[in-house]
Amino acid sequence: MKQAKIHKSVLVLAALSVIGIYLFATAPPDLDDSAGAGRDVPVETLFRLLDAENASIRAIYTAEIVTPGLKKGLEYREDWKAKDVHAGPLPALFLRETANRLQQRMPELSLFLGSTYPIEASNHFKGAQQAYFETIERERQPQFFIDDSTGRHTAMFPDVASAPACVSCHNEHPDSPRKDWKLDDVMGATTWSFPRAKISTDELIRILGAYRIVAMDAYGSYLKKTGNFDAAQRPQLGERWPKDGLFLPDAETFRKRIEATNSTASLNLLLQTYSSPERTPAVEGKPPALAGGASAPDNAGSGP
């Protein structure tokens, strides 16, 4: 048994070195029919890594772009894509932009952000989803299950109000059904789904790399939009950030910030996953006090 654990650690460390190459040195290619070689890992590992990557990128965007940007005169709105609107995407819409691009690049993988008090009614949890979300609200722990309506492996992670911009947007929006949000409230849940229980390490690497690429593309779409801003509202792009004034980090600067934060975090999460004591597998499709699976909506990328 001890030798098996050592062997597992060696395999994980080898995978980590490859992940470092894929995610932080090169742009990985799209998945193709040959993908699938290598050691299999449970899809839960993929979900945890994707959520960590997503949460970190959103936190950087929210805390280092949106929050200070609002103080320096930048705007962030729902209709940011409209031709005459000189604004960037709100954090939830940044996730939607990323998720839409991910869906196009990798149709097997779905990302959805829902809530029990969404601004957009179509993002309201339905049926068994609500029971899973109530568990998340109570325990603040992710839920893993099989969606009975689709047969897809699904993971829901708590989406917490981590910045004043999140709270003020929902409290002040005319269509918001709830007006008393506070920092650190669980506002919704980020939901991922995938059709298979296991994936190869090669697929894991490529999917993580693909997510990093589409997140960077989503940020790039905001930078491109600023080129149409009026001169007085147009931020200067380069190595400086909004905390310093009317600035936005260019794509390369933003990428380096993401890599510096996420590279170590992703490796640590993998090591923790495979060095911790064996967990009792979750009963798929049966959350606490609930029989049957939840039905995650198939509108990948909608924000609450």
pLDDT in tens, 204-237: 889 999 999 999 999 999 999 999 999 999 999 9
Instruction: Dig out the tokens for 198 from the structure.
Output: 């296991």
- Name residue 282's beta-bridge partners: none
CB-side neighbour CA atoms (13 Å) of 61 = 27
| pLDDT of 291 | 29
- Kindly write down the DSSP assignment for every residue of 229-277, as one continuous string: S-TTTPPEEES--GGGSSEEE-HHHHHHHHHHHHHHHHHHHHHHHHHSP
Entry pTM: 0.77
| pLDDT of 271 | 62
DSSP annotation of 156 = E
CB within 8 Å of 206: residues ≥ 6 apart: 22, 28, 29, 30, 31, 35
Ranges of the chain whose pLDDT falls below 70: 1-38, 127, 263-304
- Name residue 154's beta-bridge partners: 145, 193
CA-based radius of gyration for the chain: 20
Domain boundaries, the chain: 2-275
CB within 8 Å of 208: residues ≥ 6 apart: 19, 22, 23, 46, 49, 50, 53, 266
| pLDDT of 81 | 95
Angstrom distance (rounded) from CA 274 to CA 285: 24
Cα separations in angstroms, 205 against 40, 47, 199, 222: 12, 12, 10, 27
Angstrom distance (rounded) from CA 176 to CA 210: 33
Query: Given its phi and psi angles, is residue 164 left (phi above 0), alpha (psi -120 to 50 degrees) or beta?
Result: alpha
Q: Exposed e or buried b for every residue in 245-277, given b needs 16+ CB within 10 A?
A: eebbbbeebbbeebeeebeeebbebbeebbeee
Cα separations in angstroms, 61 against 117, 153, 195, 241: 23, 28, 30, 11
In the block, tokens 């993908």 appear at 35
Whether residue 67 contacts residue 243, with contact meaning beta carbons closer than 8 Å, is answered with no
